[in-house]
């Protein structure tokens, strides 16, 4: 059997490659940070990590992880409800719900699991899930695992959302689901309007704050802070793998009874391992740190505002953004690849995105800002963009 299967895979892989869609991994030999070293020994400035608060290699988080390694050991060898819950896991859940102003929180190995395990235990055939068309893959997969009726609306299109809510009025319960920040454009979900429609059409709301937590809102509480909706949204999911230290781990936080039901029925929680003690301990330390001072959130906001304003001044076409994602629009896929390669030659690591990741004719470079970027590093990136932009005839 394997001979024929192998030739099937080989031809599929060749097709991926010839379509220019083959993903190669760049090997980093230093810790994650604003400046990284890649395997050929070259140092580059990193503008494509989700390291928004610059915490991926923060000394206080490293120290908290090292302490927990001594006091609580390396691994749990158990799911939570058998013998995989330490004091650290409960403390981290308490920190998460305190941070978001919610009743309770439940940890997962990743936000992919949080989203994969949130719908099926809560909703059934009689219910409706109304989902933004640009929601993250893990939300799409989670919805597929649930028997609820599915409705979809175009990205952030409130007229379409309203129509779908009207269409779903027969169902028992309605849940609107949206990403907080959409990762390709960096736009924020209009949660104020979504909430209004939810009230009008008797629905609940779920927001995935993976790209917005730590980033959006004055203190980084995410889109619920931006729109003054703290405590009003039924379900928030998020990751510890982006702004919050970047290691691993996800969570669902929100209404008490929802979290209680997830602890009983959510399959990735019941049938997958607990996060390691050192990750839990560093997470606790991280929430205390960003609660104590708003320095990192402020620096991220300053860096983003500075970078976006300068890029516009230089003459680039920048998508409106309310996050730490800056989409530099080039429209042409080949050009996006060439610009990313030229930027790397300039010592700046950025990634080009093109179809099918973004719509045809919408190719771009996605720049992600971090609190870890210094002003000289931002200026170095801006100067490189200016040079590459001129060399490629994008700027005149």
Find the helix or strand (DSSP H, E) in which 207 lies: strand 204-208
- Tell whether residue 208 is a contact of ligand PLP (CB under 6 A): yes
Of the candidate residues 138, 266, 285, 304, the single one contacting ligand PLP (CB under 6 A): 138
Contact between 110 and ligand PLP by CB under 6 A: the answer reads yes
- Pick between residue 50 and residue 297 the one whose CB is nearest to ligand PLP: 50
The upper half-sphere exposure of residue 312, i.e. CA atoms within 13 Å in the direction of its Cβ, equals 11
Pairing of strands 325-331, 363-368: antiparallel
Among 111, 328, 365, 367, binds ligand PLP (CB under 6 A): 111
| In the complex, minimum distance from the CB of residue 76 to ligand PLP, in angstroms, rounded to a whole number | 18
211 among known catalytic residues: yes
Tell which one of 47, 99, 112, 316 touches ligand PLP (CB under 6 A).
112
Distance from first CA to last CA of the chain, Å, rounded? 58
Answer for which of 72, 136, 299, 301 binds ligand PLP (CB under 6 A) is 136
State the nearest-atom distance from the C-beta of 43 to ligand PLP, in Å.
26
Among residues 56, 97, 131, 183, which one is catalytic? Answer: 183
Q: Which is nearer to ligand PLP, 51 or 377 (CB)?
A: 51
- Annotated catalytic residue within 72, 211, 301, 373: 211
193 in active site? no
Cα separation, 278 vs 69, whole angstroms: 6
Residue among 161 and 223 whose Cβ is closer to ligand PLP: 223
Query: Rounded to an integer, what is the distance from CA 256 to the centroid of its chain?
Result: 24
Q: Is 179 one of the binding residues for ligand PLP (CB under 6 A)?
A: yes
Examine residue 120 and tell whether it contacts ligand PLP (CB under 6 A). no
Taking CA atoms, 88 is separated from 97, 261, 348, in Å, by: 14, 22, 38
> Length of the chain in residues, anyone?
396
Give the span between the Cα atoms of 15 and 2, in whole angstroms. Answer: 20
Residue 177 φ then ψ, to 5°: -125, 130
CA dihedral 272, 278, 284, 286 (to 10 degrees): -110
177: left (phi over 0), alpha (psi -120 to 50) or beta: beta
Asked if 241 interacts with ligand PLP (CB under 6 A), we say yes
30 in catalytic set: no
CA separation for the pair 5, 261 (Å, rounded): 42
Compare residues 112 and 151 and give the one whose CB is closer to ligand PLP. Answer: 112
225 binds ligand PLP (CB under 6 A): no
* Catalytic residue ranges: 183, 211, 242
> Which residues in this chain contact ligand PLP in the complex, by CB under 6 A?
110-112, 115, 136, 138, 179, 183, 208, 210-211, 239, 241, 250
């Amino acid at each position: 059997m394997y001979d024929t299967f192998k030739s099937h895979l080989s031809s599929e892989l060749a097709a991926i490659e010839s379509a220019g869609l083959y993903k190669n991994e760049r090997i980093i030999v230093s810790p994650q940070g604003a400046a990284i070293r890649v395997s050929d020994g070259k140092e580059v400035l990193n503008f494509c990590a989700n390291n928004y608060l610059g915490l991926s290699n923060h000394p206080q988080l490293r120290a908290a992880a090292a302490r927990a390694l001594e006091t609580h050991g390396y691994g749990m060898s158990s799911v939570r409800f058998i013998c995989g819950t330490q004091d650290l896991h409960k403390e981290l859940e308490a920190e998460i719900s305190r941070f978001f102003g919610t009743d309770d929180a439940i940890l997962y190995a990743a936000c992919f699991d949080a989203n994969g395990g949130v719908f099926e235990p809560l909703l059934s055939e009689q219910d409706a899930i109304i989902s933004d068309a640009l929601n993250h893959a893990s939300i799409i997969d989670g919805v597929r695992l649930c028997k609820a009726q599915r409705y979809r609306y175009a990205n952030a299109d409130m007229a379409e959302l309203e129509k779908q809510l009207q269409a779903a009025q027969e169902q028992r319960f309605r849940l609107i689901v949206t990403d907080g920040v959409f990762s390709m454009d960096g736009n924020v979900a209009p949660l104020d309007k979504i909430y209004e429609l939810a009230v009008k059409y008797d629905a609940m709301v779920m927001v995935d704050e993976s790209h917005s937590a730590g980033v959006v809102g004055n203190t980084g509480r995410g889109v619920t802070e931006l729109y003054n909706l703290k405590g009003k949204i039924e379900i928030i999911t998020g990751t510890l793998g982006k702004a919050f230290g970047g290691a691993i781990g996800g969570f669902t936080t929100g209404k008490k009874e929802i979290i209680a039901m997830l602890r009983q029925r959510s399959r990735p929680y019941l049938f997958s391992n607990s996060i390691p003690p050192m990750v839990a301990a560093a997470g606790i330390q991280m929430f205390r740190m960003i609660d104590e001072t708003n320095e990192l959130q402020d620096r991220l906001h300053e860096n983003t505002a500075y970078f976006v304003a300068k890029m516009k001044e230089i003459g680039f076409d920048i998508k409106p953004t309310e996050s730490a994602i800056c989409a530099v629009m080039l429209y042409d896929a080949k050009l996006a690849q060439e610009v990313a390669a030229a930027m790397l030659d300039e010592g700046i690591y950025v990634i080009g995105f093109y179809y099918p990741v973004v719509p045809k004719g919408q190719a771009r470079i996605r720049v992600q800002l971090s609190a870890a970027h210094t002003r000289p590093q931002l200026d170095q990136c801006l100067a490189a963009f200016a040079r590459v932009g001129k060399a490629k005839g994008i700027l005149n």
